[in-house]
């Protein structure tokens, strides 16, 4: 694709403080990849790290790798803690408040189970349009609890009004996976705390996408994915945040041996490890944890406020360039234009969204379709330039022209 990128966008790219970060990723140049909100691009350091882990750590050192060199990258036992420390920096948490392992779904179960067991109330408030796994986990847990909870739902635009003193726990996703709407986590958490409500935040589309400050907000619990904006690779381990003030009060229900204070003591009863390490369950997923560990190094010199500014500049540019298309075609912007209410994705409704996305992907514009009629485009400031936004819109224009 040779396209004349407008001068104003070229200038923005020339002045981009994060420009050099793109070189740290393998970004295919035959497509415009707008799905880093679903599976982040491959950080270039990961293949070498995985080769080392498989060939040396696994192949040669075998079981000795669990404990050798407590200080080195070869100590598999400490790997979850090292990764947790890197994640904690991105979400405004203490390193001992984060556990990395399992999937977001499983961590949602752990967070909900803990939260629901430390309140006398019996109402869980969530969003009927929340990501399905969040709802399913709440439903499954309620079955285990004999259906003793009311799972109450409200639109995510009306949460504040639904925070009432009978609500025990809230489960909301900070950035809606369909619309890209970002909630006021600070304001909602503050109000929840005033009312004695415990908050569980799903940060699937937040961690690595913009600054998150869990402790600054006073959040109680949070979960998030390793494979989206954190670029940890397909099926990367997820994270769980439990505010330090709850560690001793919130029982551990998935009390596996890796969360034990001394796993190799092989004791008959469970006693929790210090801090969030107690929320680990079984043997750490060393290969995928190593990939995530390496991927997180990309963030080590990134100012998340700078990243946020670039994200907004990319999504602003996309929305602006799409305006003439939205006038001509049945496209409706569903992502808020207000910066405070926007994550790092932009979504449009289109009556034939599924086919439009199919054609876009054939043309090399890789976003995704979400039922029933959403076209979703994710922007990742670490490896996108404004020129990519321009290329994407040229492709979208061509596809829409070809539509009836
Ligand atoms: C992607 C996503 C998940 C994924 O959960 P997994 O257990 O990793 O499959 C959970 N919640 C939200 C809001 C998501 O967007």
SS (H, E, C) 371-385: CCCEEEEECCCCCCC
Terminal CA-to-CA distance of the chain, rounded, Å?
25
Question: In 219-260, which ranges are E strands?
Answer: 221-224, 239-242
Q: Which of 221, 201, 197, 192 is nearest to 120 (CA)?
A: 197
Mean pLDDT for 376-381 is 98
- What residue spans define the domains of the chain? 7-44+303-401, 61-299
Place of tokens 């981009």: 16
Cβ neighbourhood burial of 77 (10 Å; 0-12, 13-18, 19+)? middle
Sequence ranges of the binding site for pyridoxal 5'-phosphate: 104-105, 131-134, 173, 202, 205, 227, 257, 283
Query: Residues of the chain with pLDDT > 70: what percent?
Result: 98
Q: What is the DSSP string of 176-196?
A: -TTT-BB--HHHHHHHHHHTT
Whether the per-residue pLDDT at 1 is higher than 60: the answer is no
Domain 61-299 is found in CATH 3.90.660.10: no
Q: Which atom of ligand 1 is nearest to the CA of 107?
A: 7
Cα distance between residue 312 and residue 282, in whole Å: 39
pLDDT band at 67 (very low <50, low <70, confident <90, very high): confident
User: Largest Cα–Cα distance of the chain, in whole Å?
Assistant: 69
For residue 69, report the distance from its CA to the centre of ligand 1, in Å: 34
Whether the per-residue pLDDT at 92 is higher than 80: the answer is yes
Q: Write the pLDDT tens digit of every residue in 128-168.
A: 999 999 999 999 999 999 999 999 999 999 999 999 999 99
Of 227, 318, 348, 383, which residue is the catalytic one? 227
Q: Is 131 marked active-site? A: yes
Q: Is 320 marked active-site? A: no
Question: Which one of 3.90.1150.10, 3.40.605.10, 3.40.50.1950, 3.30.70.20 gives the CATH number of domain 7-44+303-401?
Answer: 3.90.1150.10
Whether the per-residue pLDDT at 344 is higher than 90: the answer is yes
Cα distance between residue 349 and residue 315, in whole Å: 16
Whether the per-residue pLDDT at 404 is higher than 60: the answer is no
Mean of all residue pLDDT scores within the chain: 96
Whether the per-residue pLDDT at 249 is higher than 80: the answer is yes
Cis peptide before 398 (omega within 30 of 0): no
pLDDT band at 388 (very low <50, low <70, confident <90, very high): very high
Whether the per-residue pLDDT at 72 is higher than 80: the answer is no
Q: Is 202 marked active-site? A: yes
What per-residue confidence (pLDDT) applies to 225?
98
Q: Write the pLDDT tens digit of every residue in 174-191.
A: 999 999 999 999 999 999
Mean pLDDT for 4-25 is 97
Mean pLDDT for 275-279 is 97
Whether the per-residue pLDDT at 380 is higher than 90: the answer is yes
Whether the per-residue pLDDT at 318 is higher than 70: the answer is yes
Cα distance between residue 230 and residue 217, in whole Å: 21
- State if residue 103 touches ligand 1 by the CB under 6 angstroms criterion: yes
**Interior/surface letters 5-34, b for 16+ CB within 10 angstroms, e for the rest:** beeebeebbeebebeebbebbebeeebbbb
Cα distance between residue 341 and residue 307, in whole Å: 16
Mean pLDDT for 62-68 is 89
For residue 208, report the distance from its CA to the centre of ligand 1, in Å: 15
Q: Which atom of ligand 1 is nearest to the CA of 225?
A: 8
Q: What is the CA radius of gyration of the chain?
A: 22
Nearest CA to ligand 1 atom 2: 204
Least confident of 73-82, 220-229, 348-357: 73-82
- State if residue 105 touches ligand 1 by the CB under 6 angstroms criterion: yes
What per-residue confidence (pLDDT) applies to 402?
87
Q: Is 25 marked active-site? A: no
Of 25, 33, 131, 279, which residue is the catalytic one? 131
Pocket test for ligand 1, best of 37, 105, 136, 374 (most atoms within 8 A of CB): 105
What per-residue confidence (pLDDT) applies to 60?
94
Of 96, 176, 202, 388, which residue is the catalytic one? 202
For residue 236, report the distance from its CA to the centre of ligand 1, in Å: 11
In degrees, rounded to 5, the angle at the alpha carbon of residue 157 between the alpha carbons of residues 35 and 218 is 85
Mean pLDDT for 223-232 is 98
Q: Is 182 marked active-site? A: no
- State if residue 279 touches ligand 1 by the CB under 6 angstroms criterion: no
Sequence ranges of the binding site: 104-105, 131-134, 173, 202, 205, 227, 257, 283
pLDDT band at 226 (very low <50, low <70, confident <90, very high): very high
């Amino acid at each position: 694709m040779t396209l004349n990128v407008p001068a104003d966008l070229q200038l923005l790219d020339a002045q981009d403080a994060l420009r050099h970060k793109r070189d740290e990723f393998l970004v295919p140049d035959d497509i415009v990849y707008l799905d880093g909100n679903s599976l982040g691009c491959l950080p270039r350091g990961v293949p070498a790290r995985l080769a080392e882990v498989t060939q040396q750590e696994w192949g040669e050192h075998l079981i000795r790798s669990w404990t050798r060199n407590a200080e080195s990258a070869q100590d598999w036992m400490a790997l979850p803690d090292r990764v947790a420390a890197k994640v904690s920096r991105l979400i405004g948490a203490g390193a001992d408040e984060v556990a990395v392992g399992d999937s977001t779904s499983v961590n949602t179960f752990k967070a909900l189970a803990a939260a629901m067991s430390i309140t006398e109330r019996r109402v869980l408030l969530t969003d009927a349009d929340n990501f399905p796994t969040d709802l399913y986990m709440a439903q499954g847990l309620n079955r285990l609890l004999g259906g003793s909870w009311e799972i109450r739902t409200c639109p995510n635009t009306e949460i504040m009004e639904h925070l009432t003193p009978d609500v025990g726990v809230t489960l909301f996703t900070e950035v809606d996976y369909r619309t890209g709407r970002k909630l006021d986590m600070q304001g909602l958490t503050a109000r929840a705390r005033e009312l004695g409500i415990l908050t569980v935040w799903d940060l699937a589309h937040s961690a690595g996408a913009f600054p998150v400050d869990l402790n600054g907000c006073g959040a109680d619990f949070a979960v998030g994915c390793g494979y989206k904006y954190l670029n940890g690779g397909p099926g990367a381990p997820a994270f769980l945040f439990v505010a330090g003030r709850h560690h001793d009060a919130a029982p551990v229900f998935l009390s596996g041996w890796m969360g034990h204070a001394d796993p190799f003591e092989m004791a008959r009863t469970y006693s929790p490890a210090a801090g969030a390490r107690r929320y680990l369950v079984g043997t750490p997923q060393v290969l995928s944890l190593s990939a995530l560990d390496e991927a997180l190094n990309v963030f080590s010199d990134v100012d998340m406020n700078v990243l946020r500014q670039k994200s907004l500049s990319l999504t602003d540019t996309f929305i602006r360039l799409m305006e003439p298309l939205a006038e001509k075609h049945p496209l409706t912007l569903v992502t808020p234009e207000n910066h405070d209410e926007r994550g790092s994705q932009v979504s449009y409704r289109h009556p034939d969204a599924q086919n439009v996305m199919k054609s876009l992907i054939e043309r090399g514009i890789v976003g995704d379709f979400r039922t029933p009629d959403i076209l979703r485009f994710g922007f990742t400031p670490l490896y996108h330039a404004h020129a990519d936004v321009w290329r994407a819109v040229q492709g979208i224009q061509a596809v829409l022209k070809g539509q009836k």
